[in-house]
């Protein structure tokens, strides 16, 4: 596995380290970085799945992978994941067009719930100075992210491909 291919897992490992490395009460900075880095691990898991789906071989992925997913936005991914986790009949029209109107696999729903939650916590960690973090809550979040990595691998391939295609086509920056 090339280093870029292992980036999601490595980011999650770094987040775990940041949450645990200090003895006693950890600094707010370490906990905030752990939350943010854990979310970025999940986001990069989606990016990796996107460029793997889009590009056929390892050479193309190495040359074009970063360009292929460069315009995916955090807000766009969160918005579509939030829509995908909703029950049938409550999904936004765009999500229903890509994902269908039936039930989605519990693993995709779980992954989307984690992604939305982790992104909100990342925003708190990066921008809300009034929010205080505790080691226990950060470790709980990181455990949830790690569990979602496993859930991602269990999502049926066709469903995962539809989700990734939806992100590639609809979670992008609007460019001229």
CB 18 within 8 A of CB 45: no
How far, in Å, CA of 107 to CA of 160, rounded? 10
Model pTM score: 0.89
The predicted structure's pLDDT at residue 176: 41
Burial class, 35, CB count within 10 angstroms (exposed 0-12 / middle 13-18 / buried 19+): buried
Residue 3 in this model has a pLDDT that exceeds 60: no
> Using 50, 70 and 90 to split pLDDT, how confident is the model at 175?
very low
Task: Report which of residues 150 and 53 the model is more confident about.
Answer: 150
CA distance 27 to 21: 10
The confidence score (pLDDT) of residue 49 equals 86
Is the pLDDT at 174 greater than 60? The verdict is: no
Q: What is the pLDDT at residue 69?
A: 66
pLDDT at site 30? 97
How far CA 60 is from CA of 6, 51, 67, in Å, comes to 17, 9, 11
Average pLDDT, the chain: 88
Is the backbone of residue 91 left (phi > 0), alpha (psi -120 to 50) or beta? beta
33 closest CA partner among 46, 51, 43, 20: 20
> Are 58 and 46 contacting, i.e. CB atoms less than 8 angstroms apart?
no
- For the cut 70, the answer to whether the pLDDT of residue 97 exceeds it is yes
């Amino acid at each position: 596995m090339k280093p870029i291919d292992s980036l999601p897992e490595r980011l999650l490992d770094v987040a775990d380290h940041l949450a645990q490395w200090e003895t006693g009460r950890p600094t707010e900075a370490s906990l905030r970085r752990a939350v943010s880095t854990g979310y970025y691990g999940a986001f990069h898991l989606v990016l990796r799945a996107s460029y793997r789906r889009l590009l056929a071989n390892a050479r193309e992925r190495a040359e074009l992978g970063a360009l292929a997913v460069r315009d995916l936005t955090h807000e766009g991914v969160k918005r579509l994941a939030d829509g995908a986790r909703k029950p049938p009949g409550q999904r936004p029209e765009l999500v229903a067009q890509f994902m269908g109107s039936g039930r989605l696999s519990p693993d995709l729903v779980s992954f989307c719930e984690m992604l939305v939650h982790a992104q909100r916590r990342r925003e708190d960690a990066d921008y809300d100075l009034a929010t205080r973090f505790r080691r226990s809550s950060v470790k709980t979040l990181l455990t949830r992210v790690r569990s979602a990595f496993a859930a991602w691998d269990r999502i049926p391939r066709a469903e995962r491909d539809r989700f990734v295609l939806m992100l590639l086509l609809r979670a992008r920056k609007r460019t001229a």
